[in-house]
Amino acid sequence: MSRNCRLITYKEASAEALLMAMEKDEKVFLIGEGADNINGVGGQVLPAIRKFGPSRVIDTPLSENGLTGFVVGAALDGMRPVLIHQRDDFMLLAMDQMMNQAATLRYASGGRHRVPLTILSFVARRPGEGVTHSHSIQSIFAHFPGIKVGMPASAEDVKGMLLAAIFDDDPVIILEHRHNPLYEQAGQVSEKYYETPLTAKIARKGKHLTIVTVSIALLDAIKARDGLARLGIFPEIIDLRWLRPIDIETIVKSVEKTGRLLVVDTGWKSCSISSEIVALVAERAYGFLRCSPRRIALPDAPCPASQYLEPYYHPNPEMIVQTVEEMMKK
Amino acid sequence: MRDKDFLKKLYFEMLRIRMVEEKLTEWCNADLIKAPVHLSIGQEAVAVGVMAALRPQDKIVSTHRCHGHYLAKGGNLKKMMAEILGKATGCCKGKGGTMHLFDDEAGHVVSAPLVGASISFAVGVALSAKMKGEDKIVVAFFGDGAVEEGIFWESVNFAAVHHLPVLFVCENNLYATHIHIRDRQPSEEIASRVKPHNIHARRIADANNILTVIDVAASMVNLVRKNQPCFIEACTYRLREHWGVGEDWHLGYRSREEGEKWLAKCPFKQLQKVFNEESIPRLEIDEMEKLIKQEIDEAVEFAFKSPPPSLEDLLSEVGGDK
């Protein structure tokens, strides 16, 4: 990174992207439940409120589906709204407007309509958040053509992906992850304006197997890497970043080199982005695989609230080390 | 208001919608339309009456039953007919179809068939207009069934709280598909249930009388221009099937007697009575029919001669890709 960088947290980088987008273009506005001047969506919209006030940071009634329709309308009228849901489970109340409308209007209008809308939300994994707030439901959003889905896993990418989303002419969903250490984790972030490309990122180069991670699973894979190094195993870690469009070329190229594929996801396993990656690799690079692809994802149960059960629910570095060891024996 | 030319213009606009939909009826009977067509025959006075109170820069949104709104707002007839035939020259290049008609240039922003969806778009366009300080208002057209959707109440609530320049126009034609309003809602009257949201709300018991529609719409539009959202319940009647072009008395969900009561309130007959008072001769109506027929013939020729979309169009303009 260049000399314009400083060390800031993921949360600060996200807040900076929102503010920067609003400074760059007066058509950008923020809207959402709890976008107020007290909590400011976990503090993320406070810098924007201080600078632009309630006319461009709009706190709203509790109307997830309606709000999504309102911002679609505003986008059709030339604005670039950023709709914020405090937890991604609230987005399920807006599926109709997101998927039946925002994702289809460009196509249904023969390209004459564009919907430059960003939907920003958060996976709030924490003990006690329970069966809905801990949802990590990115895969269902990525099912629909017409809408992009990104999950930034570093301070640098959360800024660049948010800016790319806001200035994209089509609808984009950005899901941040509020679990620590990611949310409070600092990283080198440029002060300048930049957009993250619609590609996966090779987070760590390696040679023995390919680990594709989604969102915060990147941090688990990086931790696992230390344990694996002691066993003489050097994985290549790919941070997926965008679920749609999916950058399968980067993954296939890596698997052609390593011959092994492990996907670590923060969502459930069935009918998921991990299913999709394994299927695509099977279709495109079957002959390169030296063992069955493996997946680490959530077990088929809702997330328990209890702090005694919750730690067993999510993927962790130990699971990754164990799975990789099994794969390397084959 | 009751200037002769103005009255003639209203009649012309209603007649244009009726004659276009009669042409679509012909097309359907000849199996030329590969889509469910939702006709507004019988309801023309609401579309034309409300539109008469608007300025060109004002915007509208509509539903699956959108032909009348599209035409009354000034939508391009050629592009409409081509769209209904699925042609590349249609307003949506053939990909939207009869339920997605829109014409940005005329101020018809969008139509969306999922009941209630487009009401929220109108609120969003109004929010955008207010933020940009633009001098325009937005009208959402929808049916009585949409009032049962959560998104209608979310839209009314938000428009009231944020004082948005939006006019909600509910075309109450008594039926959602085949179910009467008394079996779906606590009363057959809607306006009084909207009022408590600090929204000006009026019910027009006979919205087939276009002059009443214009009077109410004009006074409501004045309030909307001052950022006071309003609601009009326009009682009218669909004379054809929910979708399709035939009559449907044989289905038994509504009676021919009920239909005949509304036929007696025919928007054309009601306006013709005024014509007699103002001594507008029948000859002028014949002249209108001739003009409209000529426009329709040209649109039909355009639509039939237009090319279909190409195979490349199948995967173009999707979004979500690199």
Query: Among candidates A107, A109, A52, A116, which has minimal Cα distance to A83?
Result: A116
CB contact under 8 A, A72 and B124: yes
* Residue B322 within a domain: no
Using alpha carbons only, how large is chain A's radius of gyration in Å?
Answer: 20
All residues of chain A having their beta carbon less than 8 Å from the beta carbon of residue B155 are 66, 69-70
Q: How many domains does chain B have?
A: 1
Percent of chain B scored above 90 by pLDDT?
Answer: 83
Reported as half-sphere exposure (CB side, CA atoms, 13 A), residue A122 has a value of 21
DSSP helix/strand/coil, B86: coil
The residue range of the domain holding B223 is: 4-306
For residues A60 and A57, what is the distance between their CA atoms, to the nearest angstrom? 10
Averaging pLDDT over each range in B154-158, B260-264, B278-282, which range is the top one? B154-158
Determine whether A12 is an active site residue.
no
What are the pLDDT digits (tens) for B9-38? 999 999 999 999 999 999 999 999 888 989
* CA of B297 vs chain A CAs: smallest distance (Å): 25
> Given A64, A129, A156, A176, which residue is catalytic?
A64
**pTM strictly above 0.80:** yes
For residues A9 and A130, what is the distance between their CA atoms, to the nearest angstrom? 26
For residues A283 and A255, what is the distance between their CA atoms, to the nearest angstrom? 12
DSSP helix/strand/coil, B82: helix
What are the pLDDT digits (tens) for B61-95? 999 999 999 999 999 999 999 999 999 999 999 99
Query: Among candidates A63, A40, A72, A64, which has minimal Cα distance to A53?
Result: A40
Angle (CA) A164-A169-A170 rounded to 5° is 95
CB contact under 8 A, A61 and B158: yes
Give the ipTM: 0.94
DSSP helix/strand/coil, A179: coil
The crossing angle, in degrees rounded to 10, of helices B150-161 and B117-132 is 20
Q: In what order do the strands lie in the sheet with A118-123?
A: A57-59, A28-32, A80-84, A118-123, A172-177, A148-150, A242-244
In this predicted structure, the answer to whether residue B1 has a pLDDT above a threshold of 80 is: no
Predicted local confidence at residue A2, as pLDDT: 62
What are the pLDDT digits (tens) for B86-104? 999 999 999 998 898 999 9
Per-block mean pLDDT, blocks of 10 residues, chain A (330 long): 84 96 98 89 92 95 96 98 95 96 95 97 87 89 97 97 98 93 88 97 97 97 95 97 98 98 97 98 97 96 90 93 94
DSSP A232-252: T--EEEEE--EEETT-HHHHH
Give the position of tokens 């001594």.
B279
CATH topology of domain A201-328: Rossmann fold (3.40.50)
* Residue B57 within a domain: yes
* Residue B314 within a domain: no
Band of pLDDT at residue B206, cut at 50, 70 and 90: very high
All residues of chain A having their beta carbon less than 8 Å from the beta carbon of residue B100 are 108-109
Contact B123, B159 (CB under 8 A): yes
- How is residue B285 written in tokens? 């109506």
Give the position of tokens 């002691």.
A230
For residues A134 and A267, what is the distance between their CA atoms, to the nearest angstrom? 10
In this predicted structure, the answer to whether residue B283 has a pLDDT above a threshold of 80 is: yes
**Structural element, H or E, at residue A150:** strand A148-150
User: Which residues of chain A does CATH 3.40.50.920 include?
Assistant: 201-328
In this predicted structure, the answer to whether residue B8 has a pLDDT above a threshold of 80 is: yes
* CATH code, B171: 3.40.50.970
What are the pLDDT digits (tens) for A284-296? 999 999 999 999 9
For residues A301 and A281, what is the distance between their CA atoms, to the nearest angstrom? 27
Contacts of A250 (CB under 8 A, 6+ apart): A199, A200, A202, A238
User: Which residues of chain A does CATH 3.40.50.970 include?
Assistant: 5-190
- In CATH, what class is A5-190? alpha beta
For residues B307 and A90, what is the distance between their CA atoms, to the nearest angstrom? 44
